[in-house]
Every structure is written in C-alpha cells, then in structure tokens.
Amino acid sequence: MEAVIAEKQDMHKAKISQVMAEVGKVVVGQQYMVNRLLIGLFTNGHILLEGVPGLAKTLTVSTLAQVLHLDFQRIQFTPDLLPADLVGTMIYNQKDGKFEVKKGPIFANIILADEINRSPAKVQSALLEAMQEKQVTIGETTFTLDKPFLVLATQNPVDQEGTYPLPEAQVDRFMMKVFVDYPSKDQELEVMRRISNMRFDFTVNALLTKEDIYDIRDQINKVKISESLERYIIELVFATRKPLEYKLNEQAPYIQFGASPRASINLNLAAKATAYMEGRDYVLPEDIKEVALDVMNHRIILNYEAEADNVKTSDIIKAILNKVPISK
C-alpha cells in the first residue's frame, strides 16, 4: 500500500514539473508567478497579482488553466460592471411566463478578475463573497460553485485614477499578494522573437485532471511540520502586531496594524505546499521564509510615516525574518 502511495506521489511531482515546462512553452520566464499560482491551486487559496501592464499576467493564468484542463473565465473589471454581470441574474422567459436563472461567468473553476480595482465596491464584494462562501445566491436560490474554485485577480499599481482600491479587509481574503516584476534582458529578447514570429503556436497540452489536484491537496495535507516551526510561524505573525516585544525598535513606529490570523493559516499551508513541490514530506524553516513575503505583505498596514520615509512592507518583513528566532 505504501509503495502505491509513493508511486502516486512521484507521478504527481513529475506532473507538476511538466506543468511548469508546458506553461513555459507560451510564457517566457515568470516561473515565480507560476509557482505561486500552483501553491494557491493546491492549497485552495486565492491569489492577487500586482504588476504593471504587459507582464503576461493574463496570458500566464489562461495558459495555466488550459494545462490544468479546468473551466476558465476572464472577467474584465470596469467602472460600469454590475454584480449581476459577475454572478448572474433572473431573466423573464416570455414563452413560459416564468423567471429563469442566468448564471454569470463566476461559475467556472478558475476566474481571472482582470484589474479588480477598476470596479466599485459592490462588484468587488460580490466576487469576494463568492471567494469566501464558495456559493452564489441568485434570487431565492443558492448555487454551490464548482470545485476547485480559484480566483486570480490582477491590479495595476501605476494608474490609480478612476480606480477603487480594495479595502484591507477584502485584500486579506487573498492567500498571497504576488508582485510581478519585469523580465530579464534575455527573457524579453525571447518574448520579442516569439511574438514577431507570426506562426508561434500558443496551444498547450492538458496535463493535470481535477482528481490529480485533489490527490495533490491530500498529499500536501500530510506534509509534516514540527511544533517548533508551527510556533515559529506564530512568532512571525505576532512580531507584526507587537514589534517592540521582538526588539524591532526601528520598524515599530511604522506599523499601524499587524497581520491577521489568516497570515498564520496561510503561512502553514504555503510552507507545506512549497516543501511538497521541492520533493519533501516535511517543512524546513526555509520553506516558511520563502513564502513569508507573499503571504504577509498585504496584511501589514503601515502608517503615513512609513510612506514619508519610503519604508515598505517588504522591508518590515525582512527585518522580522532576521530578528525572530526559531523556537526550540
């Protein structure tokens, strides 16, 4: 029995490597972003991607959905979008004389909420409610969303005119906030060459099934994490709330609010997924440090002094990782 389980684990780990390679056929670079998207998928966590236009955020998500053989819907958020455009509405059928439910694009496995900060609060709330409850109510009927259900949202940090920034409480529902950076010179050269070749093939092969994803989730749940590392996660999160107790004297004046309990939960899950994708069935301190920035950077609220002194959340998190020791 154990030999069968081990064989299945090896097969899934090989498939994850194949998924990365398959996405790489279309998307140059951005392995970091793909890794974070997979962590979100395998731990049932939603991801917020932030980066300037043209960094292949949309292309990466749509390509990944094809490789995973999941239903995919891209929703372009605009100021005139309504909640009904997202979740669906009741329409009147003149032939039958009855109202019928018309489901919206939210009924898919992977939702790409493109430029989520372009739409007003009502639309954002409708999406975030679906993320939290995994269900949608239209009229008097409640519909359970198909599983797996993953929201991958993007926002542009440059153009803030005419946008509706996500409130901190809503941003907190995303497992990770990933900053997408520019490609290297060699990568951008490769992108230019591919796009200039009009015959470039954007098709990819489907490699993972829903059953594979559920199996991987079960295996990640079985990844071992020691009590000392569990306590280390708690200490990291508490250091954001009470920095002076952790001798973070330079950083304390800049922190207005620390990370919520969701940070502890998601640090644990993301660290387990990282260990699994590295081929281990146990978590190392490096796994926690690897995901700490993406899990906590949107959960620490800085004050105006931090903005005036050009202090960023990444600076605070790096200082915490350097100061907080691992419990024994």
CATH number at residue 20: 3.40.50.300
In this structure, are 65 and 188 located in the same domain?
A: yes
Choosing from 190, 211, 232, the residue where a domain stops is 211
pLDDT of 199 higher than 70? no
Lowest mean pLDDT, pick from 160-164, 184-188, 259-263:
160-164
In this structure, are 169 and 85 located in the same domain?
A: yes
Confidence of residue 3 (pLDDT cuts 50, 70, 90): low
Q: How many structural domains compose the chain?
A: 2
The pLDDT mean for the chain works out to 84
CA dist 175 → 43, 55, 138 (Å): 9, 21, 27
pLDDT digits (tens, 9 = 90+) for 289-314: 999 999 998 888 888 888 888 888 88
Tell me how far apart the alpha carbons of residues 37 and 90 are, in angstroms, rounded to a whole number: 34
- Rounded to 10 deg, the angle between the 57-67 and 2-24 helix axes is 140
Phi, psi (deg, nearest 5) at residue 248: -95, 60
* 328 occurs within a structural domain: no
Residue 141 pairs in a beta bridge with: 138
In this structure, are 203 and 310 located in the same domain?
A: no
- Provide the Cα torsion 168, 169, 170, 171; round to 10°: 40
In this structure, are 21 and 70 located in the same domain?
A: yes
CATH number at residue 278: 1.10.8.80
**Is the model more confident about 249 or about 159?**
249
Structure confidence at residue 231 (pLDDT)? 93
* 198 occurs within a structural domain: yes
Cβ–Cβ under 8 Å, residues 190 and 25: no
In this structure, are 81 and 106 located in the same domain?
A: yes
* 219 occurs within a structural domain: no
Confidence of residue 135 (pLDDT cuts 50, 70, 90): confident
Residue range of the domain that includes 160: 2-211
The answer to whether the pTM exceeds 0.95 is no
In this structure, are 44 and 186 located in the same domain?
A: yes
Choosing from 211, 237, 268, the residue where a domain stops is 211
Q: Is the peptide bond before 148 cis (omega within 30 degrees of 0)?
A: yes
* 303 occurs within a structural domain: yes
In this structure, are 171 and 316 located in the same domain?
A: no
Structure confidence at residue 130 (pLDDT)? 84
Structure confidence at residue 1 (pLDDT)? 41
In this structure, are 203 and 241 located in the same domain?
A: no
Q: Whose structure tokens read 């790489």?
A: 24
In this structure, are 22 and 78 located in the same domain?
A: yes
* 48 occurs within a structural domain: yes
DSSP for 279-307? T-SB--HHHHHHHHHHHHTTTPEE-HHHH
In this structure, are 86 and 229 located in the same domain?
A: no
Q: Is 88 helix (H, G, I), strand (E, B) or coil?
A: strand
* 218 occurs within a structural domain: no
* 216 occurs within a structural domain: no
Choosing from 211, 243, 272, the residue where a domain stops is 211
Q: Is 198 helix (H, G, I), strand (E, B) or coil?
A: coil
Of residues 271, 277, 274, 263, the one with CA closest to residue 317: 263
In this structure, are 162 and 260 located in the same domain?
A: no
pLDDT digits (tens, 9 = 90+) for 8-60: 677 777 888 888 888 887 888 778 888 899 999 899 888 998 887 777 788 88
In this structure, are 289 and 147 located in the same domain?
A: no
* 39 occurs within a structural domain: yes
